[in-house]
A and B are shown apart, each in its own frame.
Chain A
């Protein structure tokens, strides 16, 4: 990668390295909007202060996954600065400057930040180092090649200069046309355990999340939204709400009615007092139990064909032994710890937004559209995100657009804050899915024909991404992890098809997206095949994975470390699963017991091959994190919708995993050197099937629906 255009931003004393970022759009959408493509402008990723401070500007949002540290590592590795002087800040929203390479928009998702920025951020570091060395060499009137730079100090013979001392001079130099990046053997930081840079702010209460934003004259709004999917606003009576002390205004929004008050508590009481008339949804309203039955019925017949190889129907009809199973997963809310919120301040045709978002470019365009202005007039300040998990990357910018409308209609700067109930009941869920799988096996029990039908809503249909990412009626995200499964690839005759019904329930990507359900169906089915063949689940998988050596290696490592093949503690049993997700392969072995019918997960042994590990400490954290997120869904996660209304409302009935349920997680890294994979999401997918398979080993009961329940 080379620096292709130079541009410098003068700031208060120091070097700002800038360059033009090519906006690649291959295969991936840029959202529509009134925004004409803004001309490429200089882009700043790095500031070196006269005080030697190194500020890394992040094009991606820190939501727990560790970009606040990981992206800084990439720059610091090549810059050879003093790591103790490195700090980070979020970039402003600017599509032309900060679009993710290969993605075309500024966003955080798809476990793509570190791998997507690996070249760009290292190049920034290397270019800056080159300029600093040249600046020092010019001052000393020596050849740059005769200088050395290390730990923030440039050395020539006995002479030394700190980076900060030449930062100003370096800024005036041309960046190099090309830089040579270090070989992996030369890395000093990449691959080592580096502690997080955001810890000091987050252990003292000093970190600013969106909900913490404070501005002069800022008001807080709580919004009454439709109580059922498909319900619509008829009218409202603001009188009672306005009598609540602190409530100042009641204004309609596109989504409902906003109560604007001096502070949250008044706004919340005002909303409780507000009288709103809603028109019920048509008919009886959406019912999730009936819907699951509908999905099950749909899977009786093939849907839109994703893959069709060989003669599946003939092979199934001719086979002596076939297995058929139906797997089901429910709707799930993301429930990040920080309830959704967004602060908007409108000034003429300009707007400032403070929020924790994963989707700066989309939000910027949505706000511009509401205000009839251009995206460049919308300034987005990205705060820390109190969890994202996909929810803060809303294709309609729901929580951002709503705040802009409230601020516009109320005529004051407003922070819209959602309650937990608003969040759990507010839609944008991981869709419910049903998989029907029929497999014919040969005499040895290996699959020879595989018919796999998936039914469930498309996440991308109806969004700006549809025309790029939904092909021939097939939303790739509904079948990811399945369409590319090595188990299907090794089966002679295979057919994968998809039904994508529409419902009034809005859906969205949820940590690991399609893999949340495809891994469950696949790894459960393979386990069923292994047991039907009378084979050890590990041996059976390894035989099927002969052409997938990375899968096999991860599985073998996790199994070895978990003591697979040795007896588990009395009353315990083990199950395993392996799955590839966003370029990384994760194998997990779960050790479970049953306590009066309640599934207890005692230990999870995880092996991950993400190609090139950047920060093993962060990778371990993300494996633990993904496992907890997936385990919450596997053991507890389910939304029930009756008459269009969501039954669950808060953490008492939409249960998160808690400390007493936390298994002992051990993580083993495989540095395979394969192309770098993602790390934020891949650990989520395999845990449900690993636990379900362990429950089968324990009880001989095959649980085919999530959440897993023995009673």
Chain B
């Protein structure tokens, strides 16, 4: 079957039931998207389908269809998406394993809400687990990204 990932169409030899996560990681070599739980409990595998965040670990590749898949590797050509800039400025990451998923969820949030409140952030981000406990800086960084997105300093 064919899927479009980060702007390129790929022919993949996969059973329709195979989760998108493993297609990305093991068939396409896009390992920035992470495996954490396999049951949509941790958000480490978050990618976008036509801009909407989904848990790729429970998304059968056969259901993707013509929707565009965006992974962490595809949100900016140079790591300078406003969310990535904000993550750098706020020194968010620790072990870093969950951060692809955190960033993908945050990018989707900011696309819908340009100035989310703490409650909005809590609601959007509570599906993304971080065992290092970077939550506070994730929250701060989303506010910073919102400011950057609005053109503020």
Contact = CB atoms under 8 A, between A and B. Distances in A.
B134 interface: yes
Contacts of A463: none
Contacts of B19: 265
Contact of B130 (A206, A264, A337, A626): A337
Interface residues of B, number: 57
Interface string B124-138: 011111111111111
A417 B129 CA distance: 20
Interface stretch (A384-392, A472-480, A520-528): A384-392
Contacts of B55: none
B95 A63 contact: yes
Contact of A662 (B15, B84, B136): B136
Contact of A205 (B73, B87, B88, B95): B73
Contact of B29 (A206, A214, A245, A660): A214
Contacts of A335: 131
A64 interface: yes
A200 B133 contact: no
A660 to B, nearest CB: 4
B25 A264 contact: yes
A203 B122 contact: no
B32 A384 contact: no
A659 B92 CA distance: 14
A656 B129 contact: yes
A201 B32 CA distance: 10
Report whether over half of chain A's contact residues are helix, strand or loop; otherwise say mixed: loop
A561 B33 CA distance: 40
A462 to B, nearest CB: 27
A625 B98 CA distance: 14
B132 A64 contact: yes
Q: B15, B25, B91: which has the most chain A beta carbons within 10 Å?
A: B91
A206 B32 contact: yes
A203 B95 contact: no
Q: B33, B34, B131: which has the most chain A beta carbons within 10 Å?
A: B131
B93 A203 contact: yes
A625 B39 contact: no
Contacts of B31: 205, 208, 211-212, 214
Contacts of A617: 91
A652 B87 contact: no
A55 interface: no
Nearest to B36: A337
B71 A389 contact: no
Nearest to B31: A212
A420 B41 CA distance: 10
Given A264-B22, A337-B36, A387-B97, A651 B133 contact: no
Interface stretch (A104-112, A191-199, A438-446): A191-199
Q: B15, B84, B132: which has the most chain A beta carbons within 10 Å?
A: B132
B116 interface: no
A3 to B, nearest CB: 33
Ranked 10 nearest A-B pairs via Cβ:
A205-B32, A628-B133, A386-B97, A202-B96, A64-B95, A64-B94, A263-B26, A205-B72, A651-B41, A662-B135
23 contacts: A64-B93, A199-B91, A199-B92, A199-B93, A204-B32, A205-B32, A205-B71, A214-B31, A220-B26, A263-B26, A337-B131, A386-B95, A386-B98, A387-B131, A387-B132, A628-B132, A650-B39, A651-B36, A658-B129, A659-B128, A659-B138, A659-B139, A662-B122
Interface of B: 15, 18-19, 22, 25-27, 29-39, 41-42, 44, 71-73, 79, 84, 87-88, 91-100, 103, 121-123, 125-139
Interface of A: 62-66, 195-196, 198-209, 211-212, 214, 220, 245, 262-265, 335-339, 384-389, 417, 419-420, 617, 621, 624-629, 632, 650-652, 656-660, 662, 664-665
Given A659-B135, A662-B139, 5 more contacts: A201-B96, A264-B26, A386-B97, A628-B133, A650-B39
